[in-house]
A = this chain, B = another copy of it.
Amino acid sequence: MKPKLSIIKIGGNIIEEQESLSQFLRLFAQLGGNKVLVHGGGKRATEIGKRIGIESKMVDGRRITDAKSLEVAVMVYAGLVNKNIVAQLQGNNCNSIGLSGADANAIIAVKRPVSTIDFGFVGDVRVVNAESISKLLSAEFVPVFCALTHDGHGQLLNTNADTIASEVAIALSQTYDTTLYYCFEKKGVLRTIAEPDSVIKRINMESYQKLKQQKIIADGMLPKLENCFHALNKHVQRVCIGDLSMLEPKAQLFTTITL
């Protein structure tokens, strides 16, 4: 039997608010077995970029990462956010180690080719180095990934944190019985946005298609769920979506995605 592994991605308001972040990190530290944390850090980068005089550039609603924006992302994601998370986890007796995809050569990406839009220094994941990450897990470290990768030739790249989480989960699912958790401010995928408890407890490929047609699942939730199904199709054992209470031992209200 494969050893168990939990990969947890946090984003959104959980990172922005110090109180919810601390609460999350306490729960994460208590979680048994092998674990990996993946975090975003979006709004903080935008805020610090503005203070330095770098505005976020958007084309067709999508963020462009020019050289200066990448510098800010590296400072905020790999520096400020990652190291504060690691220091707090250490304070909770969780021996974490903060990583970008360049560290331990963990995640190699390719700079997204220019088509109609030049996204700049954005990387699409090419290889996750499962051997390197497994070595860290075997040495009883808890890897904490920020949303940066590298091209293997010295260039750091900005990569979507949801994608990093699913790609790391896919790569490690060969060695580990892997559960992927997407943890955000809502209790799960909601039937009615205005009702925070209207969680759809189980979604499979079939019900997903219906929910999409009915426009119950829409907008930002679509790429999130596509990521989930992609991970399941590539042999990740379980995918769950919910708020931080999902990590509590007796958690009940969250969404489980299956094929």
Asked whether A105 and B100 contact (CB < 8 A) given A74-B80, A87-B156, A90-B150, the answer is no
In the bound assembly, the distance between CA atoms of A87 and B123 in angstroms comes to 14
- Of the four ranges (under 10, 10 to 19, 20 to 34, 35 or more), the interface on chain A belongs to 35 or more
Asked if A78 is an interface residue, CB under 8 A from chain B, the answer is yes
Interface flags for A73-92 (1: CB within 8 Å of B; 0: not) read: 01111111011101110110
A16 to chain B, nearest CB (A): 15
- Binding stretch for chain B, among A46-54, A165-173, A189-197, A231-239: A46-54
A36 to chain B, nearest CB (A): 14
Asked if A174 is an interface residue, CB under 8 A from chain B, the answer is no
Question: Which among B91, B95, B135, B155 is the interface contact of A104 at CB below 8 angstroms?
Answer: B95
Copies of this chain per assembly: 2
- Majority SS at the chain A contact face: helix
Q: Which residue of B lies closest to A155 (CB)?
A: B87
In the bound assembly, the distance between CA atoms of A82 and B197 in angstroms comes to 43
Interface residues of A in 78-122 (CB under 8 A from B): 78-80, 82-84, 86-88, 90-91, 95-100, 102-105
Evaluate contact between A80 and B87: CB separation under 8 angstroms.
Answer: no
Question: Which among B51, B77, B88, B104 is the interface contact of A79 at CB below 8 angstroms?
Answer: B77
Interface residues of A in 112-157 (CB under 8 A from B): 132, 135-136, 139, 141, 148, 150, 152-156
Evaluate contact between A102 and B83: CB separation under 8 angstroms.
Answer: yes
A186 to chain B, nearest CB (A): 27
- Partner-B contacts on A (CB < 8 A): 48, 51-53, 71, 74-80, 82-84, 86-88, 90-91, 95-100, 102-105, 132, 135-136, 139, 141, 148, 150, 152-156
